[in-house]
Amino acid sequence: MPIYEFRCQSCNHRFQKLCSLGEKGEKLTCPACQASSPVRVMSGFRVNNPGNLYGSRGDSCKSCTSSNCSACKH
């Protein structure tokens, strides 16, 4: 089950909800003001690179000549 982000049309409160796939929010209410039918909004996401995902410096860095690579944070 995905977590979707919704925005209340009455108070603009944004909240997340674990929902069935494709949930549009028609049956939901805003947790802040109890208004019905919040709008599902596009959520951003972040990929966390722990630094050792590809080894100590990263496999992509073996052929890299840059001293400041965004892939390995060096």
| Kind plus residue range of the DSSP H or E element containing 50 | none
| Type of residue found at 51 | G
Give the model's pLDDT for residue 26.
84
Domain residue ranges of the chain, discontinuous segments joined by +: 1-42
Give the long-range contacts of residues 66-73, CB within 8 A, separation 24 or more: 73/49
Question: Six-digit token pair at 22?
Answer: 């494709």
Contact yes or no for 58/36 (Cβ under 8 A): no
Please report the pLDDT score of residue 13 as a whole number.
96
Q: What is the pLDDT of residue 49?
A: 60
Residues 3-54: tens digit of each pLDDT: 889 999 999 999 998 888 877 888 899 999 999 989 999 877 666 665 555 5
Q: How far apart are CA 56 and CA 33, in angstroms?
A: 49
Q: Quote the pLDDT of residue 38.
A: 94
Residue with the two structure tokens 């805003």: 30
At 25 the pLDDT is 80
